[in-house]
Structure 1
Amino acid sequence: MKEFLLLFRNQVGEGSYSLSPEEMQSTMPKWQDWIGEVIQNGNFVSSQPLDYEGKIVKNKGITDGPYVEAKEILAGYLICKVATIEDAIEISKKCPILDYEFGSIEVRPITSLAIG
């Protein structure tokens, strides 16, 4: 089994997420059901939503981020453990972020590096 990172992306609103807190709350049962299914199937490793606020650290300093000019924002992630990327894609197809007009999921394998 391999671990895969599912990155949830959504469109930026006016200085915040495009969904209001009320809209986010109303969709919570769908998220709970979806994550519950991933857990029940034995594929769940971890998951968290991400706050809109943040900082960007570069070799030339630290700036506020994400940038207002960006059209997409990382909204959260889920790490799952499955055999193939195709299995991770199948899990992602049921994610409630896809119910949002501009929601998308980036599926990336997590590579274990031997250090030392």
Structure 2
Amino acid sequence: MKEFVMIYRNETMPENKYSPEEMQGILKQWENWMGSIAAQNKLASIGNRLGSEGSSIKPGNVVTNGPYSEIKEFIGGYSVIKADSIDEAVEIAKGCPILNVGGNVEVRDIIVMNA
């Protein structure tokens, strides 16, 4: 099996858009979805949410505040899964709860670098 990263993107931080009760429902969807992937032994890394604080460093040592200063969407988090193919990884990603709240998932293969 190969490893694939699923990168979760959205236009707003969910906490800014939903009530606490709605957030609880959304978090439960994530818990159930991740649990189903783990139950299939396809979850390589549970991943992490990413905060909104950060900086971007560009050529010439130009530093801008915010990790997403020039894009409409921000990366909210990521997970690493195991799958036999990109097609299987995409099928798994189709169940991602972020799709229910206007976000999207980018699926990329991971290329292991030899030292």
CA distance 1:27–1:108, shift in 2 (3 Å): same
The corresponding residue for 2:58 is 58
CA distance 1:7–1:67, shift in 2 (3 Å): closer
The corresponding residue for 2:108 is 108
- State the secondary structure of the residue aligned to 1:52: coil
Letter matched to residue 93 of structure 1: K
Normalising by the residue count of structure 2, what TM-score does the alignment of the two structures yield? 0.85
Structure 1 segment 39-54 matched on structure 2, within 5 A: 39-46=38-45, 47-54=47-54
Gaps of 5+ in 1: none
The corresponding residue for 1:72 is 73
Aligned length: 110
CA-atom RMSD, angstroms? Answer: 1.8
Q: Percent identity?
A: 37
Q: 1: CA distance between counterparts of 2:71 and 2:48?
A: 22
Q: 2: CA distance between counterparts of 1:90 and 1:65?
A: 32
Normalising by the residue count of structure 1, what TM-score does the alignment of the two structures yield? 0.84
Superposed displacement of residue 54, structure 1: 1.3
Q: Is it true that 1:7 corresponds to 2:30 in the alignment?
A: no
Gaps of 5+ in 2: none
The corresponding residue for 2:90 is 89
Q: 2: CA distance between counterparts of 1:53 and 1:32?
A: 25
Q: 2: CA distance between counterparts of 1:55 and 1:18?
A: 21
| Alpha carbons 2:68, 2:74 under 8 Å: kept | no
